Chains A and B, each alone.
Chain A
Amino acid sequence: MTVQHLQKVFFPGTINERHVLKDVSLAVAPGDFISVIGNNGAGKSTLLNTIAGTLPTDAGELTLAGHRVTHRPVAYRARWVSRVFQDPKLGTAGDLSVAQNLTLAERHTGSLSLRRYQRADQTARYRELLATLEMGLEDRLDAQVKYLSGGQRQALSLLMATLSHPQLLLLDEHTAALDPQTSAKVMGLTEKIVTTQHLTTLMITHKLSDALRYGNRLVMVQDGQIKLDVRGREKQALRQEDLMSLFMA
């Protein structure tokens, strides 16, 4: 995926005008697991939203898996992009069952199809998949998702987002709304899934320790620009103090 010269201005021409993304360019190589950090309002979420398609870009080009998608809607990009939201309620449909949610996530195409959505083999397959989460969800395939706990819902969101083997996985502070224990568990699951499937991943996080620990690349966004972009050994050499001083700068 590449982002070229991306610009985003909110409320142009008013007193509230804010230039949130200033000529941002980012080239993501297949297999990259990038942690994105930055202050509140630095533009991390805006960047993620423009990549996902929830926000239109004002200037610049976006390419996904070789396709120019700059002006394409969210549903079109869903062929290649999956997303886990910060709010566990956003990533799943609460009135639908666990199995129905998984069915929706399994293929991101064919929503107009008039074929039956239930397939003979799916129950066994879904049970197996859910068992890997180790949250007891394998016995609750028919339960409505709204009755699950926040942690269960977020783990399910994660499973759903990776079920279609996306070319790009977007994680938007996906553990921020969870308690420390559950948060650690979901983060562990994330790493497991991302490494086994070799998923290209962009993860926003406010936890510097997570940003340092996970992924092969770290990007710091500040004031609408990429201030730091390190990978590999250079990233491993980074200390939390280094980042803190960058935040202060």
Chain B
Amino acid sequence: MLVTSIGQGLLWAPLVIGVFITFRILDIPDLTTEGSFPLGAAVTISAMLQGRSALVASLLGFLAGCVAGWLTGMLDTKLKMPSLLAGILTMTGLYSVNMHIMGKANIPLMDQTVLTGYLPAGWSVNLQTIVVGAGVTLIVVLGLIWLFQTRLGLSLMATGNNRAMSAANGIYTDRMVIIGYMVSNGCIALSGALIAQSNGYADIGMGIGTIVIGLASVLVGEIFLHGRRMWVRLTGMVLGAIIYRYLLTLAMGLGFPVDDLKILSAIILVIVICLPLLQNKYRTRQQLRRYLNQIGVDEHATNRRFDRTTSPEGLLSRDDK
């Protein structure tokens, strides 16, 4: 069960990393995800049905995601739309685009060789999935680690953190936001391409709930691995994707039907948002008690509900800038 989760998690990891780029680096909640994920799947499967190799088709899926991200970026920056709305518009429009690409709501692969097909046939499906997932994820992670060591990467981080300061230091922030959207949605679409190949079909509905999956995985990853270095953060995202899959598998093991997966996703997201809040509150309380004891103040004389005065940092609210 764990092995299956690792394989599936690695296929989902590019999506989580994509969500991480917009949500954490650019500080934008991007709903394009729900459209670019099936877009990647649709483009890849269609291309394979037309005779392209799995590798080329997956790359085409990635590029299609970049185009979707560019579109949302243009709506956001050039037409000055709120980023949530920009994402919703692209996502909605992409539904029709995906239908046109696929021709019908679900297209299965025939006997085309998927990425795992390049591996020795003697290996088990799980091993093949893990190797392909790990390979693609490694390329994505290494690429991004490199990117964030360049001046461009630094400009991206600065733009997400403080746009006024970035512009004052000569960074064209609109360009940065658009580039961020493109990289992010490219990764998301790549994930869609991998999942579709693993499933053996592309489906118009496969994007539903992906933003919740992405956000939950980002938060789970941050609970288990937190640091400031980019490779730690990205590894955390991969870990988050795997743990999230495992949690879902566990829930399924408890006897929940497949139809309940979406509500489980939503509940997991609520839990992982609340958990760090409570944890933080508890830790602050402990620290304060220890400190008060140290300086000899009677803790019973203090306001017991000091959580009203100290606001613990939420995971969704950005740190004070």
Give the interface of A toward B (CB within 8 A): 52, 54, 73-76, 78-79, 82-83, 85, 89-96, 100, 103-105, 107-118, 144, 146, 160
Render B201-242 as a binary contact track against A, CB cut-off 8 A, 1 for contact.
Answer: 000000000000000000000000000100000000000000
CA of A93 to CA of B176, assembled, Å: 15
Are A74 and B151 neighbours in the complex by a CB distance under 8 Å?
Answer: no
What are the residues of chain A within 8 A of B260 when measuring CB–CB? none
CA of A240 to CA of B319, assembled, Å: 43
- Residue of B whose beta carbon sits closest to that of A74: B167
- Residue of A whose beta carbon sits closest to that of B155: A111
Which residues, 142 to 185 on B, are CB-close (under 8 Å) to A?
Answer: 149-155, 157-158, 161-162, 164-173, 175-176
Give the total of B residues in contact with A, Cβ under 8 Å: 27
Main secondary structure of the interface of B (DSSP, over half): helix
What are the residues of chain B within 8 A of A91 when measuring CB–CB? 165, 168
What are the residues of chain A within 8 A of B161 when measuring CB–CB? 93-96
Give the shortest distance, in Å, between A106 (CB) and chain B (any CB): 9
Check B111 for interface membership: any CB of A closer than 8 A. Answer: no
Q: A90's contact among B149, B165, B170, by CB below 8 Å, is which?
A: B165
What are the residues of chain B within 8 A of A110 when measuring CB–CB? 151
Asked if A111 meets B162 with Cβ closer than 8 Å, knowing A89-B321, A95-B319, the reply is: no
Are A75 and B321 neighbours in the complex by a CB distance under 8 Å?
Answer: no
Check B320 for interface membership: any CB of A closer than 8 A. Answer: yes
Interface CB pairs A-B, < 8 A, 20: A75-B167, A90-B162, A90-B165, A92-B162, A93-B157, A93-B161, A93-B166, A96-B154, A96-B161, A103-B154, A108-B169, A109-B170, A112-B151, A112-B155, A116-B150, A117-B149, A117-B153, A146-B319, A146-B320, A160-B169
Give the shortest distance, in Å, between A108 (CB) and chain B (any CB): 3
Q: B154's contact among A54, A82, A89, A100, by CB below 8 Å, is which?
A: A100
What are the residues of chain A within 8 A of B173 when measuring CB–CB? 75
Give the shortest distance, in Å, between A157 (CB) and chain B (any CB): 9
Give the shortest distance, in Å, between A221 (CB) and chain B (any CB): 22
What are the residues of chain A within 8 A of B165 when measuring CB–CB? 90-93
10 closest A-B pairs by beta carbon, nearest first, are A108-B170, A78-B170, A111-B155, A94-B321, A113-B151, A74-B167, A93-B161, A111-B171, A93-B162, A117-B151
Asked if A94 meets B172 with Cβ closer than 8 Å, knowing A116-B150, A117-B151, the reply is: no
- Residue of B whose beta carbon sits closest to that of A84: B168
What are the residues of chain B within 8 A of A107 when measuring CB–CB? 170
Are A74 and B154 neighbours in the complex by a CB distance under 8 Å?
Answer: no
Are B158 and A96 neighbours in the complex by a CB distance under 8 Å?
Answer: yes
What are the residues of chain A within 8 A of B175 when measuring CB–CB? 112
Are B176 and A111 neighbours in the complex by a CB distance under 8 Å?
Answer: yes
CA of A169 to CA of B153, assembled, Å: 27
What are the residues of chain A within 8 A of B171 when measuring CB–CB? 75, 104, 111
CA of A237 to CA of B133, assembled, Å: 76
Are B321 and A104 neighbours in the complex by a CB distance under 8 Å?
Answer: no
Give the shortest distance, in Å, between A60 (CB) and chain B (any CB): 22
Q: A83's contact among B154, B168, B176, by CB below 8 Å, is which?
A: B168
Asked if A104 meets B320 with Cβ closer than 8 Å, knowing A73-B172, A93-B161, A144-B228, the reply is: no
Q: B169's contact among A78, A85, A116, by CB below 8 Å, is which?
A: A78
Given contacts A74-B167, A94-B321, A104-B154, 15 further A-B contacts (CB under 8 A): A75-B167, A79-B170, A83-B168, A91-B168, A95-B321, A100-B154, A100-B157, A104-B169, A104-B171, A108-B170, A109-B170, A111-B152, A112-B152, A117-B149, A117-B151
